[in-house]
Amino acid sequence: MVGVLIQMKLAVLRHSTSDTKMALSGLGWATGICLAVTTVILAFLDFSQPRMLMDVLAVTFALWALGWIVGPIFAGEPALNGEHFHRQPIPRRTLTLGLLAAALVAVTTAITVLAFGAMIAFAARLSWQAVVVSVPAVVLLLLLVVILSRVVTLLFRAMARSRAGGAVTATVTAAIVSLCSFSWVLMIGVYLLLEYGFPPTFSTVVRALPSSWGLLAVEAAGRGDWLWAIGPLVALAALVAALFAAWGALLGPQRLARPVVRGSSASRAVRRPRLFRGDVGTICLKELRTWWRDPMRTQSIVLGPAFAVITALFPLIFDFTAAFPFIGAAGALMAAATCANLYGQDGTALWLTLTVPGKEKADVRARQLAWLLVFGPLTLLLTAAGSLVHGDPALVPWALAGNIAALGGGSGLLIWASVAVLVPGPDPHKSKNSPMDHGDVTGQSFLMFFLVALAMCPALGVAWAGQALDRPALLWASLAVALLTGVLSHVLLGSVAARKLRDEGPELLHLMRSGAPSSTATPEEEAGKSPFETMSAKRQTLMWSAMAVGIVGLLPQGLVPLGIKLSGSPDKVWFLALHVADPWQWPVIAAMVLIGLAGFWAAYWLYRAEKSRIEVAVPA
C-alpha cells in the first residue's frame, strides 16, 4: 500500500506540474537548500556566550517547524489527501501510514533532513555518545514536523470554512505578509541578540518547545546525563505517536460539514431602511449580507486592518510610534488591494447580473457603496485610535488625508480591476479551504496596491507642501484634495467598469466558466490591446513581483538611506544599511540600489517580451 501511494503521488505530480510551477518550485528549493546549509554552518560557529549555540539552534529548528506548519496551509491542496480515498475500503492506520510515506518522498523533506543535520554536527562537537543519540533525534524531529504539518493543515482548512476561521486565516496571512515585508527588521533584532545574548526567559521557552527536545537529549548525552538524554527522546516519540493517531482520526470517512449561515427572519427581512431601496439599495443590501456571511469576504475584511496593525507594531522595536496614525490609511490601502476581485469571488453568479439588461451600473455602484460602508467606518476608527495612541496632533491631517484618499481611490479602482483584470476562481459552493486555491490574485493585488498608493499622492503632496511652507490652512486643505480625488475616482472608474461589464459581460462569464479568455479574438484585435491585457496571470505575477522588489530596493532601502547618509543625520530609523557597521553602509546601499534597478529591469523585460509577442502574432 505504501509503495502504491508513493507511485500515485509521483504520477499526479508528473502530470499536473506546469513549467511555471516547476520554475517557482525550483526557486523555492534553491532557497531552502541555502537556508539548510546556513543552518548546518551555524552548528560549527563559536559564540561569545556559552549557551548561545544551543539557543540559536533551538530557535532555528523552531522556525523550520513553523515553516512546515504554515507552508502547506498556503501552498494549496497536496497531491494526495484523505478525501481521495473516502470511498475505498482502506483501514485508517494503513491509509495514514501510506500518506505519511508519500509525504516523506519529497524534495522539501530532503532539504529538511539536511537542515536537521545541524543537530548531528552539534553532537559531534560534544562526544560520540551524543552523535549516537542525535541520529534517532533527527528522525523523530523530522516525523514530528511532517505529521504536525498535516494535522494542522486539516484542522486549519476545516476551521477556514467558518467566519471565525476566515478571520483567523486572514490574521495569519497578514502576519506572514507583514513579516516578509519587514523581515530586515528581524535581521537587525537577530544581530543584537547575537551580540548581547538571548534573555533567560526567552531561552527557557524556546528550549521547552518540542522542536528543541532532540537538542536537549543531545546536550545531556554530551555531559553524560542519560536520564535527560533518554527522557526527551521518549517524550518526542510519544508526541509523534499521538499526532499520528490524531491524523488517522481526521482521515475518517465522515466529511466535515460546512456551517449553515441562516438569513434574516421574514419579519425582519421586509423592513428595509430608505438607503436600501431601489436598484442600488437592494443590491447593496445583498452585498452587505454577503460581506457578513461569506468566510471569504470575512478574510478580506480582516486582512487589511490586521496587516496595518501588525506592520505598525514592528517599529516599536525602535520605540517609533509615528506609524500608528496611518493604520487606517494602510488598512484601506490593503483592503482595496485584497478586494479587487469581487466578481471573481462570486464565480459564475455573474450571469444573474447579465440576464437583467441595464442593471450593470446599479450593480457596480452597489458594490462600491457596500465596500465603503464596510471599510469606511472601520479604517476611520483605526485612524482615530492610532492618532490617540501616538498623541501628536501634527500627523492627524496627514493620516486623515491618506485614509480618505485610499477609501475613495480604492472604491473606484477595485471595481475597475474586478472587471478589467478579473481573475477566475471557483464558485463559492465549490470553494476550497486553502487561500492559494481561490485563484492567483497576486498580480492583481500588486497592481491595485500601487494604483491606490498613486491615488493617495495628490492629497499627501498637498499635505507635504503645507508642512514645508508652515501653512496650516494648506495642510488641512489636503483633506479636500483627498475627498475630490476619491469622488472622481469613485464616479469615473465606476462608470468605466459598468460600461465594460455591459459591453464585455459574456466574455467575462466565459472567463469565469473556463478559466481562460475567449478565443474568438483575432491577432489584429489582440494587437490593439495592451500587454497588461494579454499577459498571462503567471507572467503578470512575476512582473509585479519584480516591480515590488524594484520599488522596495531602490526607494526605501536604497535612495532614502543614501539621503540620510549625505545629510549627516544620525537617525537610523529602520533602514537596513544604516544598522550595519559604518564601513559596510555604502556597499549595502549600493547593493540595495542595484537590486532595485534589477527588479525594474526584470519587470520591463517581461513587459517588452509580451509586447514583442503581440507584434509577432500580427501578420505583416
DSSP 447-458: HHHHHHHHHHHH
pLDDT at 606 > cutoff 70: yes
Q: Is the pLDDT of residue 254 over 50?
A: no
**Considering the domain boundaries, does residue 85 fall inside one?**
yes
pLDDT value at residue 235: 93
**pLDDT tier, 287 (very low <50, low <70, confident <90, very high otherwise):** confident
With a CB cutoff of 8 Å and minimum separation 6, the contacts of 614 are: 526, 527, 529, 531, 534
Is residue 526 assigned to a domain? no
Q: With beta carbons less than 8 A apart as the criterion, state whether 325 and 398 touch.
A: yes
Question: 317-321, 368-372, 609-613 — which is least confidently predicted?
Answer: 317-321
Nearest Cα neighbor of 482 from 581, 385, 566, 411 is: 411
Question: Mean per-residue pLDDT for 144-154?
Answer: 85
Q: What is the pLDDT of residue 381?
A: 95
> Is 583 part of any domain?
yes
Residue 241 pLDDT = 92
> Is pLDDT above 60 for 399?
yes
Rounded alpha-carbon distances, angstroms, from residue 548 to 127, 138, 310, 332: 49, 38, 20, 19
Check whether 76 has a pLDDT greater than 70: no
The pLDDT tens digits of the residues spanning 452-496 come to: 988 998 998 999 888 888 888 998 999 999 999 999 999 999 999
Shared domain for 232 and 108, answered yes or no, is: yes
**Which residue type is seen at 576?**
L
Q: How many domains does the chain have?
A: 3
pLDDT number for residue 543: 77
pLDDT band at 426 (very low <50, low <70, confident <90, very high): low
Packing angle between helix 442-468 and helix 396-420, nearest 10 degrees? Answer: 150
In this predicted structure, what is the pLDDT of residue 204?
Answer: 84
- Of the three residues 453, 488, 517, the one that is the final residue of a domain is 517
Residue 379 in this model has a pLDDT that exceeds 70: yes
Query: Which residues does 268 contact at the CB level (< 8 Å), separation at least 6?
Result: none
pLDDT for residue 314 is more than 60? yes
- Looking at 234-243, 281-290, 517-526, 563-572, which range is the least confident one? 517-526
Q: At what angle do helices 128-159 and 213-222 cross, to 10 degrees?
A: 170
Q: Which grid coordinates are listed for 481?
A: 484634495
Q: Are 496 and 488 in contact (CB under 8 A)?
A: no
Closest CA to 554 of 602, 597, 605: 597
What is the reported pLDDT for 391?
84
| Residues 180 and 244 placed together within one structural domain of the fold | yes
506 & 580 share domain: no
Say if residue 572's pLDDT is above 90: no
Q: Are residues 74 and 170 in the same domain?
A: yes
In one-letter notation, the amino acid at residue 379 is: T
Q: Which pLDDT score is estimated for 521?
A: 47
H helical segments located in 160-294: 163-181, 183-196, 200-208, 213-222, 226-250, 266-269, 278-293
Q: Which of 66, 218, 206, 60 is nearest to 136 (CA)?
A: 218
Mean predicted confidence (pLDDT) in 258-263: 50
pLDDT of residue 234: 93
Residue span of the structural domain in which 318 resides = 275-517
Average pLDDT (60-75) is 79
On whether the CB atoms of residues 396 and 387 are closer than 8 A, the answer is: yes
Percentage of residues of the chain with pLDDT beyond 90: 16
Q: Over range 148-160, report the average pLDDT.
A: 76
Please state the rounded mean pLDDT for residues 95-112: 79
Q: What is the pLDDT of residue 413?
A: 92
For residues 188 and 283, membership in a common domain is answered with no
pLDDT value for 489: 93
Residue 190 CA, chain-centre distance (Å), reads 23
Based on the fold, state whether residues 280 and 235 are members of the same structural domain: no
The backbone torsions φ and ψ at residue 210, rounded to the nearest 5 degrees and listed phi first, read -60, -30
Grid cell 483501514 in the structure block, residue: 91
Q: Are residues 206 and 299 in the same domain?
A: no
At 250 the three-state DSSP class reads helix
The highest-confidence range among 125-129, 285-289, 409-413, by mean pLDDT, is 409-413
What is the pLDDT of the chain when averaged over all its residues? Answer: 78
Query: What are the DSSP calls for 26-61, one per residue?
Result: HHHHHHHHHHHHHHHHHTT---SSTTHHHHHHHHHH
Q: Are 101 and 5 in contact (CB under 8 A)?
A: yes
- What is the mean predicted confidence (pLDDT) over 573-592? 79
Which amino acid belongs to residue 317?
I
Comparison of pLDDT for 175 and 267, the residue scoring more: 175
CA 54, chain centre distance (Å): 31
- Does 256 map to a domain? no
Highest mean pLDDT among 17-31, 157-171, 223-237, 551-565: 223-237
Evaluate if residue 597 carries a pLDDT over 80.
Answer: yes
**Identity of the highest mean pLDDT range in 52-61, 394-403, 605-614:** 394-403
Residue 186 has pLDDT above 80, yes or no: no
Q: Are residues 212 and 351 in the same domain?
A: no
Could you count the other beta carbons within 10 Å of the beta carbon of residue 108? 20
Measured N-to-C along each axis, helices 213-222 and 226-250 cross at an angle, to the nearest 10 degrees, of 160
pLDDT at residue 136 in the model: 92
**Judgement on whether residues 303 and 231 belong to the same structural domain of the protein:** no
Residues 401 and 491 in one domain: yes
Grid cell for residue 65: 517547524
pLDDT of residue 318: 66
Residue 530 lies in a domain: no
**Looking at residue 371, what is its pLDDT?**
92
Q: Which pLDDT score, from 0 to 100, does residue 257 have?
A: 45
Give kind and range of the element (H or E) at residue 197: none
Distance set, CA 440 to CA 338, 425, 434, 540 (Å): 11, 8, 12, 10
Q: Is 224 left (phi over 0), alpha (psi -120 to 50) or beta?
A: left
Residues 370 and 404 in one domain: yes
Residue 262 domain flag = no
In this prediction, residue 255 carries a pLDDT of: 46
From residue 54, give the alpha-carbon distance in Å to each of 66, 96, 217, 335, 594: 18, 34, 12, 42, 37
Residues 6+ apart with CB under 8 A from 392: 322, 325
Residue 216 lies in a domain: yes
In a domain, 470, yes or no: yes
Is the same domain home to 452 and 575? no
SS3 88: coil
The model's pLDDT over 336-355, given as tens digits with 9 standing for 90+, comes to 988 888 887 777 777 777 77
Name the least confident of 122-136, 221-235, 432-446, 514-528.
514-528
